[in-house]
A and B are shown apart, each in its own frame.
Chain A
């Protein structure tokens, strides 16, 4: 009974809720109460762990309140090395994944629409296959190397990509894992511009293909490329499974390693990495909103 809204809102039915423009029907009071409960419970569930873990890092029975844990991070053993490794892997991953995906997507738009289903399958599979099974496959290949490839030139390659200082094998894995996200952002970006006209115009005016790519297509896709790169960066900086099981000390692996000796420090690093991701994504959505406004 109370749930059925009046057909003609009189404006006096609910003085606290002036009829909003988006919905001409004023919502009943019970509905608002329910909404308040849901939002309140969600706020508690999502905010309490953050507040509590921050408290965990800054408060101790002996010392009381202190931010020293955060100061410790920079000088902590292994932090700089693992962070640099993760950042280098992220940079390499972004370059490779963009260099592979962008031409393929352009090809689909410009002259080979038949390839689209193929690309979609390729860029969906990494979402279906759990990363742990992917790393199982990779380590099998690496383990079989000595048995089957020892006498061939592939053997040297296999050794080279497992170099401790810069494990190329991780870049290969991360590019595969990043494909779905990069594909989607670039595809959305390409949908927003008339890439065919742009390319044809540039080509008719005599521009070479590299010129078309770097001076015409990429500048028009700047924000899509930025969002693809951010997503890939967040993915690489947070990826634990592949690196841990292949035995490389990337940033997330390092967090787990130190957690045994210094729990407080690992929680502090976790909070900071959440804040970093949050910031990256806020910048990203800010850039997206600006693009929408300018259209």
Chain B
């Protein structure tokens, strides 16, 4: 087929069809690439360089070294990192299990309205992190919260500003996130498979053990990993809610960044950030292939 574009053959974006398959329109992507290199690349490079830059407190001379990173994996700093990983792991596992049950309840329900409204609500709540989430929970179960007062929870030693308090609050966006991941996957479970298993004499447990769970496994794992990542990165909720009573790596980075460190240790925030990126990167390295795998079943 001949397509002649008259007039502006010299314009690179409108090269004739033959050559356009590979070249031609790429200049339109240049602004985005340049912007990312500037707004994301420079801070990333600065972060990595800074994490490896060590300033000698006596002489004030800077040089390259790993002592920031070593220090960030030691003592108090290490314990905040471990505590963050623990919190995220608990949130991810609990959120994945509860979210999967909720998704299952929604998918098998016959009420279309229920399904639609749960999905819409999940879409909203999965994005409901940050400051407002913290204050909603403080008003509910904080020290002078409505439920705390009404049920007299304070007498039983209840406090929202603890590890498990944070778990309860993080569930509020984790479960909806899991529902959003699981519902499409569960829709992919054909009723025929269940019937076939039933006709062959399988019990419900056998059906789930040999058909349901294996098909859902990539989505389940991927969702768990996603929850881990979002809980691991969360800062605003924890800051607005617990201040610093629960040691978390995000809170520690913020403190180090705003000057709450010893002289000569300014770059510890950068080293901690690098630790976080490594953890988050490992987690995502698990997630992306899983997502690709699970999409195979969802056609």
With a CB–CB cut-off of 8 A, which chain A residues contact B7? 206
* Shortest distance from the beta carbon of B228 to any chain A beta carbon, whole Å: 12
Known: A137-B47, A203-B5. A4 touches B203 (CB 8 A): yes
Q: Which of A131-172 contact B (CB under 8 A)?
A: 131-141, 144, 172
- Best-surrounded residue of B31, B108, B131 (most CB of chain A within 10 A): B131
Known: A137-B46, A203-B14. A4 touches B204 (CB 8 A): yes
Known contacts A111-B25, A122-B33, A277-B124: A130-B131 contact under CB 8 Å: no
Chain B's interface: helix, strand, loop or mixed, by majority? helix
Q: Mark A245-280, 1 if CB is under 8 A from B, else 0.
A: 100000010011001000100110111011001100
**Could you say which of B33, B35, B40, B191 contacts A25, with CB atoms under 8 Å apart?**
B191
Task: Mark interface residues in A71-104 (1 if CB within 8 Å of B CB, else 0).
Answer: 0000000000000000000000000100111011
Cβ contacts A48-80/B at 8 Å (1 or 0 each): 111011011100000000000000000000000
Contact A5:B198 (CB < 8 A) given known A267-B139, A285-B120:
yes
Q: When chains A and B are docked, how far (Å) is the Cα of A39 from the Cα of B118? A: 10
Nearest to A4 among chain B residues (CB) is B198
Contact of A46 with B135 at beta-carbon distance under 8 Å, contacts A35-B109, A130-B277 already known? no
User: In the complex, A55→B136 CA distance in Å?
Assistant: 11
Determine if B136 and A274 form an interchain contact, defined as CB atoms under 8 angstroms apart. Answer: yes
Complex CA distance for A3 and B108, rounded to whole angstroms: 14
Chain A residues with Cβ below 8 Å from B274 are 133
Asked if B183 is an interface residue, CB under 8 A from chain A, the answer is no
The reply to whether the CB of B212 lies closer than 8 angstroms to some CB of chain A is no
Which of B3, B128, B144, B236 has its CB near the most chain A CB atoms (within 10 A)? B236
How far apart sit A57 and B199, CA to CA, in the bound complex (Å)?
A: 57
List chain B residues, Cβ under 8 A from A203: 5, 14
A108 to chain B, nearest CB (A): 7
Residues of B within 8 A of A131 (CB): 233, 235
Q: When the two chains form their complex, are residues B140 and A140 in contact, meaning their CB atoms are under 8 A apart?
A: no
Q: How far is the CA of A255 from the CA of B92 in the complex (A)?
A: 28
Which one of B32, B39, B120 contacts A101 once the chains associate, using CB atoms below 8 Å? Answer: B32
Q: Mark B130-151, 1 if CB is under 8 A from A, else 0.
A: 1111011111110011110000
Give the distance to chain A from B130, nearest Cβ to Cβ, in Å: 5
Q: Does A221 contact B (CB under 8 A)?
A: no
For B21, what are the chain A residues with a Cβ–Cβ distance below 8 Å? 111
Chain A residues near B47: list those with CB within 8 A.
Answer: 133, 136-137, 140
**Max chain B C-beta neighbours (<10 A), residue from A99, A127, A128:** A128
Contact B105 A49 (CB under 8 A): no
State whether the Cβ of B61 lies closer than 8 Å to any Cβ in chain A. no
Residue of A nearest to B237 (CB): A240
In the complex, residue of chain A having the shortest beta-carbon distance to the beta carbon of B133 = A270
Interface presence of B263 (CB below 8 A): no
Contacts A56-B146, A130-B250, A255-B135 known; A111 to B20 CB distance under 8 Å?
Answer: yes
Evaluate whether A252 and B131 lie within 8 angstroms (CB atoms) in the complex, with A107-B28, A132-B233, A245-B258 already known.
Answer: yes
Question: Roughly how many angstroms separate A200 CA and B144 CA in the complex, as a whole number?
Answer: 64
Contact B131 A240 (CB under 8 A): yes
Chain A residue with Cβ nearest B146: A52
Q: Are B136 and A270 in contact (CB under 8 A)?
A: yes
Query: CA–CA, A234 to B120, complex, Å?
Result: 15
Which residues of B are found within 8 Å of A115, using beta-carbon distances?
26, 29
Chain B positions within 8 Å of A45 at CB level: 171-172, 175
**Interface set, chain B 65-122, CB cutoff 8 A to A:** 101-102, 104-106, 108-110, 114, 120-121
| Contact flags A196-227 to B (C-beta < 8 A → 1, else 0) | 00001001101001000000000000000000
A241–B251 Cα distance when bound, in Å, is 10
Interface core residue of B14, B205, B235, B280 (most chain A CB under 10 Å)? B235
Interface presence of A126 (CB below 8 A): yes
A-B contact pairs, 19 of them (CB 8 A): A7-B198, A25-B195, A38-B102, A38-B105, A45-B171, A49-B141, A53-B135, A53-B139, A112-B24, A112-B26, A127-B284, A130-B233, A130-B273, A131-B235, A137-B42, A172-B39, A203-B5, A252-B131, A255-B240
**8 pairs of A and B residues whose beta carbons are closest in the complex:** A137-B43, A3-B204, A130-B233, A270-B132, A111-B24, A240-B236, A111-B25, A133-B273
